[in-house]
C-alpha cells in the first residue's frame, strides 16, 4: 500500500461533529482510487489527514508504510506529488518555470539547476502534452492547459504517488477527458493515484476502486460496480438516481422530478 488510512477519525478544533469517522482506505501502486461524495463530506479533509497536515483524533495514516510524521519534508516531496484544488499565482511565471518548481525538492536551497533537471522537466511537459506551451505565461493558459501544467509539475518531482484534488472541475469535456486520460496513462506506468472528484461517472470509468464518503463516514468502497448502486447513491446524494451500464462501467443518471 502506498497510501493508507486505518480507522481514521478527524475532528476540526472546536467542532462538535467529527469531520471523518473511522475511515479506512488504501491506494496501491498502479492503482487509481477515486474518492467521491457530496459537497462537504470530508474528501479534502481525508486528503489532508493522509498527508499529515491535519492531526488524527484516532486511527492512523501511512505513506509507503510510514506515518507522515516520520517523513522528512523533503523526502515526502520527492515521493508524493500533490495537485491541490486551488492555486493562485501572483507573479508572471512561464510554464517551464512553474514545472521547474517541481524539481525544487530534489534541488534543495543551493544546488544549481542541471541539464538533468531540464531533461526531467521536458519529459514531464511532454507527457502532459504541454511542451509547446513552455514559454507561455501561466495566466494566459486555458483551464485544461493549466491543470495539465500542474500535473506536469507534480510529475517533475518524480513521485511514486499522486494525489489529485478535483483536477477536472470547471473544465469542459475535452479538457476534462484530457486530464483523465493523462492520469490513466500515469497510473498504468506504475504510479499510485488518489483522485478526489465529484464527477462520479468519469470516476466509475477510470478508477480501479472507488470510495464513497458521506458526512465523514465511509459508506461504500470497492470496485465501481460495488459502490455505484442506485439506492446507496440516491440516499447519499439526496436525489433519486438510476444506474445504467455503459461498456462495463456503471453510469449514474439523476432522475427528473415527476410531473405534478
Partner 1 sequence: MRSRRLVLLFLAAFLALAVGLMLGSVATGPAGVIRAFSDPTSTENTILFSLRLPRVLLAFAVGAGLAVTGTALQALVRNPLADPYLLGLSGGAGLGAVLAIALVAAGAWTVPLAAWVGAMVSVALVYRLATVAGHRLDPRILLLAGVVVSAFTGAVMAAVLTLVPSPALRNAFLWLLGGFGAASWQSLIVFSAYAIIPAALLVVGARNLDLLSLGEEPAQYLGADVERVKQVVYFSSSLLAAAAVAVSGVVGFVGLVVPHAMRRVVGPMHRALIPAVALTGGGFLVLADGVARTIASPLELPVGVVTAVIGVPLFALLLKRSVR
Minimum separation from the CB atom of position 91 to partner 1 (A): 4
- What is the spatial distance between Cα 178 and Cα 41, in angstroms, rounded to a whole number? 27
The cell for 116 is: 538533468
Q: Which of 6, 22, 30, 104 binds partner 1 (CB under 8 A)?
A: 104
Please pick, from the candidates 17, 39, 69, 88, the single residue that binds partner 1 as defined by CB under 8 A. Answer: 88
Q: Residue 29 or 77: which CB sits closer to partner 1?
A: 77
Element counts in the chain: helices (H) and strands (E): 10, 11
Binding to partner 1 by residue 190, rule CB under 8 A? Answer: no
Considering only 7, 40, 55, 74, the residue that binds partner 1 (CB under 8 A) is: 74
Q: Is the dihedral of CA 45, 50, 51, 53 positive or negative?
A: positive
CB 1 within 8 A of CB 24: no
Angstrom CA distances, 145 to 34, 135, 139, 155, stand at 22, 13, 11, 15
Using the rule CB under 8 A, which residue among 15, 39, 69, 86 binds partner 1?
86
CA distance 203 to 36: 8
Angstrom distance (rounded) from CA 35 to CA 203: 8
Interface pattern 106-135 for partner 1 (x via CB under 8 A): -xxxx-------------------------
Host H or E run for residue 107: helix 104-107
| β-strand partners of 215 | none
Stretch that binds partner 1, among 75-83, 140-148, 185-193, 227-235 (CB under 8 A): 75-83
Question: Binding string, 44-63, against partner 1, x = CB under 8 A?
Answer: -------x-x----------
Encoded one letter per residue, x for contact with partner 1 by CB under 8 A and - for no contact, window 143-182 reads --------------x-------------------------
Sole window of 27-35, 94-102, 174-182, 197-205 interacting with partner 1 (rule: CB under 8 A)? 94-102
Interface pick for partner 1 out of 39, 73, 135, 238 (rule CB under 8 A): 73
CB 176 within 8 A of CB 201: no
- 3 state SS of 114: coil
Give, rounded to a whole angstrom, the gap between the first and last alpha carbons of the chain.
51
**From the CB of residue 205, how many other CB atoms can be counted at a distance below 10 Å?**
18
Q: Binding string, 212-231, against partner 1, x = CB under 8 A?
A: --------------------
Chain positions contacting partner 1, by CB under 8 A: 51, 53, 73-74, 76-78, 80-82, 84, 86-94, 97, 101-102, 104-105, 107-110, 157
Amino acid at each position: 500500500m502506498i497510501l493508507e488510512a486505518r480507522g481514521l477519525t478527524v475532528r476540526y478544533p472546536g467542532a462538535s461533529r467529527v469531520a471523518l469517522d473511522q475511515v479506512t482506505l488504501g491506494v496501491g501502486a498502479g492503482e487509481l482510487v477515486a474518492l467521491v461524495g457530496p459537497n462537504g463530506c470530508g474528501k479534502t479533509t481525508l486528503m489532508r489527514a493522509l498527508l499529515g497536515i491535519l492531526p488524527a483524533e484516532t486511527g492512523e495514516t501511512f505513506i509507503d508504510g510510514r506515518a507522515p510524521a516520520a517523513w522528512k519534508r523533503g523526502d515526502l516531496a520527492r515521493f508524493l506529488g500533490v495537485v491541490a484544488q486551488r492555486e493562485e499565482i501572483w507573479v508572471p511565471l512561464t510554464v517551464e518555470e512553474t514545472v521547474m518548481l517541481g524539481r525544487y525538492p530534489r534541488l534543495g536551497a543551493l544546488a544549481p539547476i542541471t541539464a538533468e533537471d531540464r531533461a526531467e522537466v521536458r519529459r514531464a511537459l511532454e507527457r502532459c502534452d504541454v511542451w509547446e506551451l513552455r514559454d507561455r505565461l501561466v495566466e494566459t493558459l486555458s483551464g485544461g492547459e493549466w491543470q495539465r501544467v500542474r500535473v506536469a509539475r507534480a510529475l517533475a518531482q518524480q513521485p511514486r504517488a499522486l494525489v489529485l484534488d478535483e483536477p477536472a472541475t470547471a473544465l469542459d469535456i475535452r479538457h476534462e477527458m484530457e486530464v483523465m486520460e493523462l492520469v490513466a496513462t500515469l497510473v498504468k506506468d506504475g504510479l499510485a493515484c488518489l483522485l478526489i472528484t465529484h464527477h462520479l461517472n468519469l470516476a466509475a470509468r477510470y478508477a480501479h476502486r472507488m470510495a464513497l464518503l458521506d458526512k465523514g463516514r465511509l459508506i461504500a468502497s470497492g470496485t465501481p460496480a460495488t459502490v455505484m448502486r442506485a439506492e446507496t447513491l440516491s440516499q447519499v446524494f439526496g436525489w433519486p438516481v438510476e444506474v445504467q451500464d455503459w461498456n462495463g462501467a456503471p453510469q449514474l443518471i439523476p432522475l427528473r422530478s415527476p410531473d405534478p
